[in-house]
Amino acid sequence: MDRREYASSIRCSWESFLDDNPRIRIRMIVCPSCSGKGSYVNPSIDSNGISSNDECWEDDDFSSNYSSGYYDVTCEYCNGNNVVAVPEDNDLFREWEKRQQECISYCMESNYERQQMSYYY
């Protein structure tokens, strides 16, 4: 899994954070998930990485589609807006980053558990 696959969970965590802190001042930053592009390659295509030695590059259709953005999907973190809101206050920003890391850790653990369970079934 990579950062793109955690985007929707992080967005839900942000909404929960806002519920806990309804009157905070925010600032906008470039989306860390899509680097401000508003989209990224569908994680199901390249989340495990595609090296220059992979056979898929020998397929002209795949390589031209990949390069042209054919496999791109809208960023789930910023919803294609290129920017995301973060707390303006440094203490709240650190708290938000901590919550974000907890969310990512939970997603990683859940994914690991699902993989282990599928191994036994």
Domain boundaries, the chain: 3-120
H-run or E-run covering 11: helix 7-20
d(CA 119, CA 8): 26
pLDDT at residue 38, rounded to an integer: 93
3-state secondary structure of 87: strand
pLDDT at residue 65, rounded to an integer: 85
- Give residue-wise pLDDT tens across range 14-43: 777 777 776 778 889 999 888 999 998 888
- Is 0.85 surpassed by the pTM of this model? no
- Give residue-wise pLDDT tens across range 69-108: 898 999 988 889 999 888 888 888 888 788 878 877 887 7
d(CA 113, CA 120): 11
Size (the chain), residues: 121
Compute the 3-state secondary structure of the chain and give helix, strand, coil in percent, each to the nearest 5.
55, 15, 30
3-state secondary structure of 28: strand
Taking a C-beta distance cutoff of 8 angstroms, is the pair 47, 4 a contact?
yes
86: phi then psi, degrees, rounded to nearest 5: -135, 155
Span 37-57, mean pLDDT? 77
